[in-house]
């Protein structure tokens, strides 16, 4: 129950003492007029009060301080530990904590057509410049992520291109196919580097 000058907070223990307090931001701005608070009000309850005073649409977590001491349990505990006396209005300094939210992807940002068959494998280059895609059409395609256009179509595999992997410096990309061959390509030219690496008797899947 919140009014302009009084705050009542439910507590597990009977309220025997109150104090006058006001919420102040770390930049010195007051969140509202002084309130009558029970001295044993907890950090969690302070969070509810602060969010109500600031009229936040979503609950924001805060840290609270009195006389540069963080309130970790309750105002009373902090005052007792630091042997602080409160005669006038107590300033409770609040600091918002960072909130990180992961929001779901709700739409496709772009589509890059080109392969004649299903795309079986994909890999972004470590420098985020290129995208390599392997397909059932037996080709590896290299895409420019800035323009979202194909740069090169790398031909040579005899079967589906099952997996793709980049070198850590993004200067080479390897592709492996269902025929058990590994081919190395230069993303800047689309040319194959060296001969195919053979030896696997069945397809390479990772």
What does the pLDDT look like over 70-94, one tens digit per residue? Answer: 888 888 888 887 776 666 788 888 8
Residues 194 and 137 in one domain: yes
Number of domain units in the chain: 2
| CATH code at position 37 | 3.10.20.90
Query: Percentage of residues in the chain with pLDDT exceeding 90?
Result: 22
Q: pLDDT tens digit string along 16-25?
A: 588 888 899 8
For residues 15 and 206, what is the distance between their CA atoms, to the nearest angstrom? 65
Burial per residue of 96-110, b for 16 or more beta-carbon CB atoms within 10 angstroms, e otherwise: eeeeeeeeeeeeeee
73 and 130 together in one domain: no
Q: In this structure, are 123 and 184 located in the same domain?
A: yes
6 found inside a domain:
no
More confident residue, 113 or 129: 129
Q: How far apart are CA 107 and CA 193, in angstroms?
A: 38
Interatomic CA distance for residues 195 and 182, integer angstroms:
9
Same domain, 92 and 123: no
More confident residue, 184 or 99: 184
Q: What is the DSSP string of 105-130?
A: P-S--------SS-EEEEEE-TTSSE
List pLDDT tens digits, range 179-188.
Answer: 889 999 999 9
Give the range of the structural domain holding residue 192, as residue numbers without chain letter.
Answer: 119-198
Binned at pLDDT 50, 70 and 90, residue 193 comes out as very high
Give tens-digit pLDDT for 1-56. Answer: 455 444 555 545 444 588 888 899 878 888 888 888 888 888 899 989 999 888 88
Q: What are phi and psi of 151, to 5 degrees?
A: -95, -50
**Coil vs helix vs strand at 96:** strand
- Residue 156 in domain: yes
pLDDT tens digits, one per residue of 136-154: 888 999 998 888 788 888 9
């Amino acid at each position: 129950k919140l009014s302009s000058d009084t705050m009542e907070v439910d507590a597990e223990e009977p309220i025997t003492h109150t104090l006058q307090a006001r919420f102040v931001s770390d930049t010195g701005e007051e969140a509202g007029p002084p309130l009558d608070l029970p001295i044993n009000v907890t950090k969690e309850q302070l969070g509810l009060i602060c969010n109500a005073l600031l009229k936040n649409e979503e609950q924001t977590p805060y840290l609270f301080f009195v006389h540069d001491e963080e309130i970790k349990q309750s105002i009373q505990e902090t005052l007792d530990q630091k042997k602080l006396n409160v005669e006038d209005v107590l300033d409770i300094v609040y600091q918002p904590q960072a909130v990180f939210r992961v929001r779901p992807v709700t739409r496709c940002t772009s589509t890059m057509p080109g392969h004649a068959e299903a795309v079986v494998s994909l890999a972004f280059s470590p420098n985020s410049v290129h995208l390599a895609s392997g397909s059932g059409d037996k080709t590896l395609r290299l895409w420019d992520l800035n323009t979202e256009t194909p740069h090169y179509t790398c031909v040579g595999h005899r079967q589906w291109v099952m997996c793709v992997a980049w070198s850590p410096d993004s200067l080479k990309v390897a592709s492996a196919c269902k025929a058990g061959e590994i081919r190395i390509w230069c993303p800047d030219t689309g040319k194959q580097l060296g001969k195919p690496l053979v030896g696997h008797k069945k397809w390479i899947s990772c």
